[in-house]
Amino acid sequence: MNPNKTIHPILKNNYIPRLLASGLFVLSAFAEFEIADKSAQFWLLILFALSWPHIARFSPFFSKESKQSELVNMHIDAIFSAIFLIVLSTYHFAGLVLAILVANALFIGFFKLLLSTLATFFSLVLLWHLFISPIDLQPASIAAQLVGGAFVIFYYSTFATMGYHLTRNMIKLNRKVEALSQTDPLTGCFNRLYLDSNLNSELNRSNRLNYPLCLIFADIDHFKQINDHHGHVVGDAILREFVHLVTLAVRNEFDWVARYGGEEFVIVLPNSDLKNGTRVAERIQKKLAQHKISVEDSSFSITCSFGISCNNTPSNLGTSELIKQADKALYLAKHAGRNCIKTAKQLSNNEPR
């Protein structure tokens, strides 16, 4: 199996910086000759430093999910840095580490991660200092300080870059998931889920600010025949074009369209009454009449029936009542021969069963 194929870009991208940081770590540890002379742990540490970037890349710790795994890796990085400080037996770099970490945090806004890795880092240094051996405050050799300083700067700027990329990727992914969960994949308009969760807040806003809200139920006429005679590919293309035409007929920033199901769509018009809603439905009707939809060298004309309700007719309608009224009006429109517009006002005399 080629491991490159299964490695997530985050783990892959951080491999080289981590390897270089480990190299600098090894150099700085070697520069501290006194420790090299007497400590077996020193050699273990070197071994770990050299193997860590490979482990971090090829064997995701604790989680198969690469991003989660990279967060764990960052904590191991923090432990690694703490051991580095202990080995060099100086607090000289601690202030530098802290300053760089704070700067990183300001830059990447990744405070939670910063705090938890900082806690890991300092608790390890403290535990070592209290229970194992007091850290000698004597400064390390000049060579160790130089290479170690380079290590600290490089290591933590890498850490910041990783955090930054992680955060950016997560934000991007979240936005993508959110957009996908709200969008109808075929037509690109909002889906039923979005309608169900947003109509209520739209209605509350309209009641709070005391303006009317209009809801149009639009249903393409005889859509089954189109599917049956020309196939679902044509039907799909017609649905897409229909949504395109509807979006051209409504106000960009205020109104929105959601697919209720099949060939039924709901158009929500904030700050609009039945009159405004009827005007919008007429505009859509006109666009449909003027526009032939071309699919696979054929062109099609479609018509649509509309049922319109408004939260002030009668007053203070709730979400489900608003939808119900528009649906009933749509039923009237279908029964009146299709390609026509009916409003909730016309319901009382012709209430469908």
Ligand X SMILES: Nc1nc2c(ncn2[C@@H]2O[C@H](COP(=O)(O)OP(=O)(O)OP(=O)(O)O)[C@@H](O)[C@H]2O)c(=O)[nH]1
The residue (of 232 and 279) whose beta carbon lies closer to ligand X is 232
**Ranges within 198-237 binding ligand X (CB under 6 A):** 219-224, 227, 232, 235-236
| Maximum CA extent, the chain | 100
Minimum CB separation of residue 20 from ligand X in Å reads: 53
User: At 298, is the secondary structure helix, strand, or coil?
Assistant: strand
Residue with Cβ nearer ligand X (205 or 232): 232
CB of 243 to ligand X, least distance (A): 11
Site for ligand X contains 243 (CB under 6 A): no
The minimum distance between CB 310 and ligand X, in angstroms, equals 23
Half-sphere exposure of 256 (CA within 13 A, CB side): 18
Q: Which residues pair with 308 in a beta bridge?
A: 216, 343
Is the backbone peptide bond immediately before 134 cis, with ω within 30 degrees of 0? no
Tokens representing 98 are 């802290």
Residues of this chain, 74-103, that bind ligand X according to CB under 6 A? none
Least distance to ligand X from the beta carbon of 322, Å? 21
Nearer Cβ to ligand X (93/265): 265
Residue with tokens 């696979």: 296
What number of chain residues touch ligand X (CB under 6 A)?
Answer: 16
Give whichever of 100 and 239 is closer to ligand X, judged by the CB atom: 239
CA 49 to centroid of chain Cα atoms? 35
3-state secondary structure of 95: helix
Structure tokens at 40: 């077996």
The pattern of x and - marking residues 311 through 340 that bind ligand X according to CB under 6 A reads: -----------------------x---x--
- The distance of Cα 25 from the centroid of its chain, to the nearest Å, equals 36
Could you tell me the smallest distance in angstroms from the CB atom of residue 220 to ligand X?
6
- 15-31 and 142-182 helices cross at what angle (nearest 10)? 160
Site string for ligand X, 250-269 (x = CB under 6 A): ------------xx------
Measured from the CB atom, is 95 or 337 closer to ligand X?
Answer: 337
Inter-residue contact 234 to 223 (CB < 8 Å): no
Place of tokens 């997560």: 170
Please give the residue ranges that form the binding site for ligand X (CB under 6 A).
Answer: 186, 219-224, 227, 232, 235-236, 239, 262-263, 334, 338
